[in-house]
Amino acid sequence: MIELSNVTLGYAHKTVLQSLTFTFPERGVVGVLGSSGVGKTTLFKLLLGRIQPDSGRVSGLAGKRVSVVFQEDRLLSHLSALENVTLVNDGRDALPWLSAMQLREVANEPISALSGGMQRRVAIARALHYGGDILLLDEPFKGLDDALRESILPAIKQAFPLIIVALHEQHEARAFGCDTVLTLH
């Protein structure tokens, strides 16, 4: 299990996470809720090992493969949707993931020709194609309407044993079907 033990972390003169202790389950969907600036993305950076806490510890990630959808799509605009997804795992067919995100018909279109919502779904498809043990989703559905979100959510939830999703509101956690909620203040 992934555990945060008395984790404190700050930037410059602001403490973002203060004495945070939390144990993530092995499976399921965990919603990390809070307003902008409370530390959701910072928590993800800790889980990815990109930063270390000022005090406390993060454990249970050794040997885990973590896939992530950042707030920014981080796509290469000169490549097609399919090429962007294939970048993370050349050995497997990426088309099923684009199909799951309802993007098969634009697979060969350059990213620059796609709408913001389509680009977002390409970023999600890329994370799903990468695979792993844990999926981190940092505000994954910006630019997507409710009907589209509902239609792609099952594919996302079936792809990983543990999904940790950063959200702003409790109703978003209910819509995502979160099993557990960690609220940051």
Per-residue pLDDT of 119-177, as tens digits, reads: 999 999 999 999 999 999 999 998 899 999 999 999 999 999 999 999 998 989 998 99
Residue 12 clears pLDDT 90, i.e. is over it: no
Q: What is the DSSP letter of 145?
A: -
Residue 103 in tokens: 């993007």
Confidence of residue 89 (pLDDT cuts 50, 70, 90): confident
Residue 92 clears pLDDT 90, i.e. is over it: no
> What's this model's pTM, rounded to 2 decimal places?
0.95
- DSSP letter for each residue of 148-159: HHHHHHHHHHHH
Contact 7, 53 (CB under 8 A): yes
Q: Of the candidates 174, 123, 113, which has an alpha carbon nearest to the alpha carbon of residue 144?
A: 123
What pLDDT was estimated at residue 90? 72
Cα separation values, 109 from 59, 127, 170, Å: 41, 19, 36
Radius of gyration of the chain (CA): 17
Pairwise CA distance, residues 106 & 64, whole Å: 32
